[in-house]
């Protein structure tokens, strides 16, 4: 990079609205984003809020490092900020804020005890289950990060149902089988995995940990687990591939851009870098409303607003809305051929299938598999849980000859994600016909609380649980985890969850 122009902060500060032009500072560089405002995936408002100011702190956790360079024409790179030259924002008088319908941090511990003010994170050795990471994350993550990860669409019924559905399946364990040695390794799309689990794609990892998604990459390597690289990671794609160990298998999740050349470029680059399978997200033509996340924006924004005197932007968009515009809502079955052509050599899987009809259509279209998923309950509230629809999907595919348990035959593979917290959850899905399950939030919580070491511990916990539970099920290998080992008679139950409405409900007396 050539010697850059030195820019005084006072000059930056003058470019603070559309008329005068909008400049912002990121990592010491000054950019003119006036023309980019209306193209910004996250909307113009969030940029206008930092017009004439340093936006680094806001930019950092939700963009890959080179996002601004890749998206702005080089002519818009104004130069380098002279250090400490930006005028300080005027301190606003500390007026009491109006009441906010916001999400408070819980002030009770996992056990219902009031949390002492000086919460100290427990040592990693005390973490016994994936639930524990979540309990610690809730207490230690930034509110913004916690709200982004933990939120679901609307009233969060689907988000809860994803886990609840597992609670409606009972096992039918077998006894007196030789379980001296149990082997829970499997193959996922032809690639070895130490267990029927992969780390699924989740966005904005740096909201949880400063190193971001590479923590997941490295922990996956430790445990011979496959990582699915997310389109919307905080780390760049190449950082995640570079972080992989030799021979480590990586898949990639793809949001299809309205500009297909951009998408094709991404696919080809992924193929070159050795990514083995492409998971095309089909449940998110628009990113969901996650109200808990949206409320985040109303907190702690007073000072910036007061300092600049601007309040004409909409603040009702959380981290989720800030990253949503890369997605083409017109994507449909007729586009699939082109994408598969571009991905030739990689497996192609549709991620976000939610009924058997679409699973069958995917198989007919030549895909290698589907992920039954509702995007972790973050998109359409009252979408069904993947587990609840799994039996009908398996049945429809088997009756049409797309699935077979015979190892020599070509096999259409089914994955599920959402709500998995225990090896028993995974075993239920596998018994019903899934190849493997994707785990998202628990890995992010492990990463956000203990970094790579946390993720590694989370995977080790799952392995311990697999060993235990396969012994107790009487299933020495994954091939022994068969449909007759689960009782699905109570699978289709009503939700019973009426969370928000109850909140507004008073009893008559």
> Which residues are known catalytic residues?
255, 283, 375
Element spanning 464, H or E = helix 441-473
Judge whether 130 and 462 are in contact, CB under 8 Å: yes
Paired strand residues for 212:
none
Residues 280-309 touching a copy of itself, rule: CB under 8 A, are 282-286, 288-289, 291-292, 294-295, 298
Alpha-carbon distance of 127 to 109, in angstroms, equals 15
Instruction: Give min distance, CB of 113 to a copy of itself, in A.
Output: 6
Binding residue count for a copy of itself, defined by CB under 8 A = 123
Residues 167-196 touching a copy of itself, rule: CB under 8 A, are 167-180
Q: Reduced to 3 states, what is the DSSP secondary structure of residue 214?
A: helix
- The site string for a copy of itself over 381-400 (x = CB under 8 A, - otherwise) reads xxxx---x------------
509 Cβ contact list (under 8 Å, min separation 6) = none
Q: Euclidean distance between the first and final Cα of the chain, in Å? A: 73
- The site string for a copy of itself over 334-353 (x = CB under 8 A, - otherwise) reads -xx-------------x-xx
The structure tokens listed for 150 are 């933990």
Judge whether 230 and 253 are in contact, CB under 8 Å: yes
33 binds a copy of itself (CB under 8 A): no
Q: Which stretch binds a copy of itself (CB under 8 A): 34-42, 265-273, 394-402, 418-426?
A: 418-426
Residues 107-166 touching a copy of itself, rule: CB under 8 A, are 109-111, 113, 116, 119-123, 125-129, 131-132, 134-136, 138, 150-152, 154-157, 160, 163-164
Element spanning 47, H or E = helix 44-48
Instruction: Give min distance, CB of 43 to a copy of itself, in A.
Output: 14
Judge whether 429 and 437 are in contact, CB under 8 Å: yes
Q: Which stretch binds a copy of itself (CB under 8 A): 46-54, 68-76, 230-238, 276-284?
A: 276-284
Torsion of CA 101, 105, 110, 111, to 10 degrees: -70
Instruction: Give min distance, CB of 447 to a copy of itself, in A.
Output: 16
Nearer to a copy of itself, 268 or 498 (CB): 498
Residues 359-378 touching a copy of itself, rule: CB under 8 A, are 374
Q: What is the DSSP letter of 27?
A: T
- The site string for a copy of itself over 437-466 (x = CB under 8 A, - otherwise) reads ---------------------------xx-
The structure tokens listed for 221 are 């390597």
């Amino acid at each position: 990079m050539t010697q850059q122009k030195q820019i005084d902060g006072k000059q930056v500060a003058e470019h603070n609205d559309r008329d005068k032009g909008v400049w912002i500072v990121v990592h010491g560089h000054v950019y003119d984003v006036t023309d980019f405002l209306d193209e910004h995936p996250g909307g113009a408002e969030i940029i206008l809020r930092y017009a004439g100011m340093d936006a680094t702190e806001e930019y950092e956790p939700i963009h890959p490092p080179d996002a601004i360079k890749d998206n702005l024409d080089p002519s818009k790179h104004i130069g380098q900020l002279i250090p400490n030259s930006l005028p300080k924002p005027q301190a606003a008088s500390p007026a009491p804020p109006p009441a906010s319908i916001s999400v408070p941090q819980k002030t009770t511990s996992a056990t219902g005890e009031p949390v002492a003010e000086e919460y100290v994170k427990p040592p990693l050795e005390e973490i016994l289950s994936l639930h524990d990471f979540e309990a610690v994350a809730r207490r230690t993550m930034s509110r913004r990060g916690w709200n982004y990860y933990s939120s679901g669409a609307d009233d969060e019924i689907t988000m809860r149902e994803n886990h609840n559905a597992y609670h409606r399946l009972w096992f039918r364990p077998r006894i007196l089988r030789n379980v001296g040695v149990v082997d829970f390794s499997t193959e996922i799309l032809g690639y070895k995995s130490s267990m029927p689990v992969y780390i699924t794609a989740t966005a904005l990892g740096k909201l949880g940990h400063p190193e971001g998604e590479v923590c997941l990459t490295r922990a996956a390597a430790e445990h011979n687990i496959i990582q699915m690289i997310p389109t919307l990671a905080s780390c760049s794609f190449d950082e995640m591939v570079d972080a992989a160990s030799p021979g480590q298998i990586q898949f990639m999740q793809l949001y299809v851009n309205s500009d297909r050349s951009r998408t094709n470029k991404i696919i080809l680059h992924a193929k070159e870098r050795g990514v083995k399978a492409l998971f095309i997200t089909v449940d998110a033509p628009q990113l969901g409303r996650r109200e808990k996340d949206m409320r985040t924006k109303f907190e702690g924004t007073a000072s910036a607003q007061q300092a600049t005197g601007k309040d004409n932007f909409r603040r009702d968009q959380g981290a989720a809305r800030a990253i949503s515009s890369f997605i083409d809502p017109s994507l449909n079955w007729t586009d699939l051929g082109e994408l598969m052509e571009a991905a030739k050599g990689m497996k192609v899987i549709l991620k976000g299938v939610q009924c058997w009809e679409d699973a069958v259509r995917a198989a007919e279209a030549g895909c290698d598999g589907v992920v039954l998923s509702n995007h972790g309950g973050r998109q359409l509230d009252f979408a069904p849980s993947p587990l609840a629809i799994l039996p009908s999907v398996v049945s429809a595919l088997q009756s049409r000859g797309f699935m077979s348990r015979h190892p020599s035959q070509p096999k259409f593979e089914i994955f599920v994600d959402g709500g998995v917290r225990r090896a028993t959850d995974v075993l239920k899905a596998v018994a019903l016909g899934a190849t493997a399950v994707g785990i998202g939030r628990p890995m992010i919580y492990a990463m956000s609380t203990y970094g790579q070491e946390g993720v590694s511990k989370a995977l080790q916990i799952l392995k311990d649980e697999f060993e235990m539970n396969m012994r107790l099920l009487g299933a020495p290998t994954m091939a022994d985890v068969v449909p007759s080992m689960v009782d699905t008679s109570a699978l289709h139950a009503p939700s019973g969850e009426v969370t928000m409405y109850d909140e507004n409900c008073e009893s008559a007396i």
